[in-house]
């Protein structure tokens, strides 16, 4: 062991010259004055001689003239005559040299200064880097100083423990002055108690109280309620409550407040007449919790800016109610015409009579202030007194529309008319006065024509006076009147202004857009008025009648809807949809005879109408008169004879239980319409319902004839296969579906039916194969993906469902299948959410709503 070299021997060795610890890791060394002494000496003569000897130089062979200036006039030019021209030339050259030297010196100094600034920016001094941290050391408490961890010694881990302890014990730290002052004061109190020689319990209690009082004084001096350099007293009862109500600010917030305080202090000192600066400084102190300082600052601001109302208002806000009154009284002396100051002064008064007195005093100084008049009028409880005040107000401010309208509202009807007429003559450019007059006429119950004439006269008078309103502005006024409950005035405004600034080809489109916009805002009467004007202009537009009827159905009464539809069928008698809508509304309200009369009139106006004939038959079938329904269908078959009429007739007889009669009607219909796929389907189904081998063969033949007549009908192929399967002939069913797949390769319904046949036959593997082939032909079919999910084992269904959602683009059938998976697992919340998604994904798919 003793022969091994000591790896730590370098710790006891002397460091080489110029060594800087940690230089390879990025540390930077520095030299103090104690290292270099008062001055640094150069190399001695012996050292210089030794260096010359090593380079092989000889001091005696030194060329003494090698450093001489070649321009010196020695040797060859020593005897030359120095003339005046030489002196002038030397002076010129010296001037040139001096200027060039000065230029180079300035460039060199600028370059050195730039390099020095760049170097200091990239390599700041340690003192600059830690300046802010050193300043923050004054806020470190004694407990935080004691909690500081000891720094570890990374290079001397294996030194002896005694040396390490001695090194740590000898270390000292700088303690902030605040800690030292606090300890000094505490020690002073304790020393006084000891020096006095306390001998009794009474003296001990007095000393304890003195120490506790000193601690309370320290807490109060450091609390946030200190004001202007003095400490406030501590309330013993509310001390804890006050502490709980204080907001503790973070160091970052305190720093921001200090910065803002310094900036605002600079603002108000540099420009003491800048009122916003005083207001901002006061609000900053308010946020900081120093209300007394905030009040003092805003008081100084009021002295510096006595002509600024904001400063006085802010000062009143920051003070108590009584002090605010005094402040506003001083403010009024400087600003007697400031409405906000008078209003604020009135708000401070709690007694109504005092508030009225303040407002009357304000009106003496500012008789043309509408706000002051309105405030004073609002304080009056008697309408008669308010009317008297408004009479004086309109005399003082004759151009105030608000005051005229308020006076008209408070006046009796006859007086209101005269007030509005006087207002109209005084302010001929006010449309509000004209609208108020129209509303007054409506409230008095006068005819609608009178209101229309008044509004039309208003539009003409305003145009003559130069107060032209755009169409959108009039529309907004109509909506406002509608909101205030005057439908006739709203309609009159629409009638008088709906044609403004519109070309004839754009009228219908713009009017419909305006009506829909009004409906979205909840202005039903405005929309009704617009549709009334549009129907008057375009009475033959069925869509306009239907939209107007929709508004009445949603917002009007049944009588108004029936009246509108009656007017509609009179104007457009050939519109089947309007007749059917009219009959449907009559039937919905329970007026069956009225609905029957409407359909009779509709059939007379539209001879041979399929929809009206079938609607009449449905009405009779639903309300018990089966014979009348049969007669109507029979008449429709002879008059109309369409495929739908034949189908309806057959379905009606089928529902009545007479399959043979229904079969005869279908056969007659096929004779008239041999290419009707649905008639062929019903033909085969009726034969199968009748039963017996003969009818089964007839059904098979009926489906075959249908496939031949309508080869593109997929349901006919499926019905034929299902017929064979019900008869126990699965092989025939497979053969028919194979032919169907050849004829309709991309029909997912046929592929799904083929797989269903195999499943019902007990061959799920074959069904899975068919579905795989079907997905190759129809890769985005939600039906096939859904069926393939159910054929997978339970653990693999979720993966298959994810593939299906990705391939089909969130198909409704696949979403419904996913919901059913959640349902089977008992996750009802997820299942409900996915069922809702399926219903919304395809709102026309009835199965989605059924599952939901």
Give Cα separations from 732 to 435, 631, 711, 750 (angstroms).
Answer: 83, 42, 18, 15
Tokens of 67: 């450093």
Residue 768 lies in a domain: yes
Residue 748 makes CB contacts below 8 A (sequence gap 6+) with: 774, 778, 781, 783, 784
Helix (H, G, I), strand (E, B) or coil at 61: coil
Average pLDDT over residues 508-534: 90
Check whether residue 852 and residue 803 sit in a common domain: yes
Tokens of 765: 């593997």
Helix (H, G, I), strand (E, B) or coil at 676: coil
Write down the mean pLDDT value for the chain.
78
Tokens of 59: 């001091």
- Burial category of 152 from C-beta neighbours within 10 Å (exposed 0-12, middle 13-18, buried 19 and up): exposed
Q: Which of 3-17, 373-387, 650-664, 798-812 has the lowest mean pLDDT?
A: 3-17
- At 83-119, the pLDDT tens digits run 777 788 888 888 888 888 888 888 888 888 888 888 8
User: For the range 380-383, what are the long-range contacts, defined as Cβ-Cβ under 8 Å and sequence gap of 24 or more?
Assistant: 383/410
- Burial category of 99 from C-beta neighbours within 10 Å (exposed 0-12, middle 13-18, buried 19 and up): exposed
Domain range for 823 is 792-852
Which has the closest alpha carbon to 678: 652, 653, 723, 714? 714
- At 526-551, the pLDDT tens digits run 999 999 999 988 988 889 999 999 99
pTM assigned to the model? 0.56
Q: What total of structural domains would you count in the chain?
A: 2
Which has the closest alpha carbon to 544: 532, 554, 529, 553? 532
Domain boundary among 756, 778, 800: 778
Q: Note whether 613 and 640 are within 8 A (CB).
A: yes
Residue 740 lies in a domain: yes
Residue 830 lies in a domain: yes
Tokens of 345: 């002064």
Residue 490 lies in a domain: no
Check whether residue 769 and residue 715 sit in a common domain: yes
- At 230-272, the pLDDT tens digits run 434 445 555 445 444 455 567 777 888 888 888 888 888 888 8
Check whether residue 797 and residue 757 sit in a common domain: no
Q: Distance between terminal CA atoms of the chain?
A: 88
Check whether residue 804 and residue 844 sit in a common domain: yes
Helix (H, G, I), strand (E, B) or coil at 544: helix
For residue 715, the tally of other CB atoms under 10 A from its CB is 14
Does residue 734 register a pLDDT over 60?
Answer: yes
The whole-number pLDDT of residue 75 equals 46
- At 469-493, the pLDDT tens digits run 888 889 998 999 898 888 999 999 9
The whole-number pLDDT of residue 212 equals 55
Comparing 825 with 394, the larger pLDDT belongs to: 825
Listed ranges 6-20, 214-228, 675-689; the one with the highest mean pLDDT: 675-689
Residue 827 lies in a domain: yes
Partners of 90 in the β-ladder: none
Rounded-to-integer distance, Cα 600 and Cα 407, Å? 59
* CATH number for the domain that contains residue 722: 1.25.40.10
Give Cα separations from 590 to 287, 296, 583, 587 (angstroms).
Answer: 70, 80, 11, 5
Domain boundary among 743, 778, 813: 778
Domain boundary among 728, 751, 778: 778
The whole-number pLDDT of residue 490 equals 92
Residue 772 lies in a domain: yes
CA quadruple 710, 716, 720, 725: dihedral, nearest 10: 160
Check whether residue 798 and residue 762 sit in a common domain: no
Residue 506 lies in a domain: no
Residue 736 lies in a domain: yes
């Amino acid at each position: 062991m003793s022969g091994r070299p000591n790896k730590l021997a370098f710790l006891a060795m002397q460091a080489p010259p110029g060594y800087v610890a940690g230089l390879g890791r990025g540390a930077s060394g520095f030299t103090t004055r104690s290292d270099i002494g008062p001055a640094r000496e150069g190399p001695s003569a012996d050292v210089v001689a030794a260096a010359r000897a090593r380079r092989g130089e000889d001091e005696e062979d030194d060329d003494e003239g090698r450093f001489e200036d070649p321009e010196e006039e020695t040797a060859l030019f020593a005897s030359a005559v120095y003339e005046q021209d030489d002196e002038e030339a030397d002076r010129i050259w010296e001037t040139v040299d001096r200027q060039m030297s000065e230029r180079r010196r300035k460039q060199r100094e600028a370059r050195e200064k730039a390099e020095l600034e760049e170097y200091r920016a990239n390599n700041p001094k340690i003192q600059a880097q830690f300046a802010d941290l050193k300043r923050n050391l004054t806020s470190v408490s004694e407990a935080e100083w004691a909690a500081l961890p000891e720094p570890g010694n990374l290079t001397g881990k294996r030194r002896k423990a005694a040396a390490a302890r001695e090194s740590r014990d000898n270390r000292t730290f700088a303690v902030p002055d605040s800690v030292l002052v606090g300890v000094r004061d505490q020690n002073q109190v304790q020393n006084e108690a000891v020096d006095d020689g306390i001998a009794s319990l009474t003296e001990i209690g007095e000393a304890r109280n003195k120490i506790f009082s000193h601690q309370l004084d320290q807490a109060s001096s450091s609390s946030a309620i200190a004001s202007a350099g003095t400490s406030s007293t501590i309330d013993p009862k509310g001390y804890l409550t006050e502490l709980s109500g204080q907001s503790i600010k973070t160091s970052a917030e305190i720093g921001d407040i200090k910065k803002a305080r310094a900036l605002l202090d600079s603002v108000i000192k540099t420009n003491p007449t800048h009122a916003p600066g005083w207001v901002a400084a006061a609000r900053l102190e308010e946020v900081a919790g120093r209300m007394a300082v905030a009040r003092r600052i805003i008081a100084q601001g009021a002295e510096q800016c006595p002509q600024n109302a904001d400063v006085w208002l802010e000062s009143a806000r920051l003070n108590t109610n009584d002090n605010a009154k005094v402040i506003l009284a001083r403010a009024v002396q400087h600003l007697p015409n400031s409405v906000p100051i008078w209003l604020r002064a009135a708000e401070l008064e709690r007694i109504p009579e005092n508030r009225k007195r303040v407002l009357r005093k304000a009106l003496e100084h500012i008789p043309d202030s509408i706000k002051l008049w309105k405030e004073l009028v609002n304080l009056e409880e008697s309408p008669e007194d308010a009317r008297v005040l408004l009479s004086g107000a309109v005399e003082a401010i004759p151009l105030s529309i608000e005051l005229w309208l308020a006076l008209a509202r408070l006046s009796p009807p006859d007086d209101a008319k005269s007030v509005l007429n006087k207002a109209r003559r005084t302010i001929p450019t006010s449309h509000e006065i004209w609208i108020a007059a129209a509303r007054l006429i409506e409230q008095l119950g006068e005819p609608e024509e009178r209101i229309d004439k008044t509004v039309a006269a208003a539009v003409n008078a305003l145009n003559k006076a130069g107060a032209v309103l755009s169409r959108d502005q009039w529309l907004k006024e109509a909506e406002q009147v509608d909101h205030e409950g005057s439908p006739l005035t709203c309609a009159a405004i629409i009638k008088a202004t709906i044609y403004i600034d519109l070309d004839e080809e754009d009228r219908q489109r713009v009017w419909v857009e305006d009506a829909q916009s009004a409906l979205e805002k909840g202005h039903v009467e405005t929309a009704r008025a617009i549709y009334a004007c549009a129907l008057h202009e375009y009475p033959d537009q069925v869509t306009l009648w239907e939209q107007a009827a929709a508004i009445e159905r949603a917002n009007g009464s049944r009588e108004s809807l029936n009246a509108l539809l009656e007017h509609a069928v009179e104007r457009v008698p050939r519109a089947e949809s309007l007749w059917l809508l009219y009959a449907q509304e009559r039937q919905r309200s329970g007026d069956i005879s009225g609905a029957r009369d409407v359909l009779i009139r509709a059939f007379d106006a539209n001879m041979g109408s399929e929809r009206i004939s079938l609607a009449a038959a449905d009405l009779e079938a639903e309300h018990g008169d089966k014979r009348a329904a049969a007669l109507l269908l029979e008449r429709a078959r002879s008059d109309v004879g369409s495929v739908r009429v034949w189908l309806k007739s057959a379905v009606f007889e089928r529902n009545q239980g007479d399959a043979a009669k229904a079969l005869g009607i279908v056969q007659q219909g096929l004779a008239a319409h041999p290419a009707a796929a649905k008639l062929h389907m019903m033909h085969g189904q009726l034969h199968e319902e009748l039963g017996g081998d003969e009818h089964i063969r007839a059904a098979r033949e009926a489906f075959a004839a249908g496939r031949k007549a309508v080869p593109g009908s997929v349901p006919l192929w499926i019905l034929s296969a299902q017929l064979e399967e019900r008869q126990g002939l699965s092989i025939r069913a497979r053969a028919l579906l194979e032919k169907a797949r050849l004829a309709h390769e991309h029909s997912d319904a046929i592929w799904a039916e083929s797989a269903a046949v195999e499943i019902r036959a007990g061959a799920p593997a074959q069904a899975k194969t068919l579905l795989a082939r079907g997905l190759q032909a129809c890769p985005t079919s939600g039906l096939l993906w859904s069926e393939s999910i159910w054929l997978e084992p339970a653990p693999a269904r979720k993966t298959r469902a994810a593939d299906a959602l990705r391939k089909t683009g969130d198909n409704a059938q696949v979403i419904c299948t996913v919901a059913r998976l959640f349902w089977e697992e008992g996750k009802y919340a997820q299942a409900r959410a996915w069922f809702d998604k399926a219903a919304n994904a395809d709102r026309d798919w009835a199965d989605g709503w059924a599952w939901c």
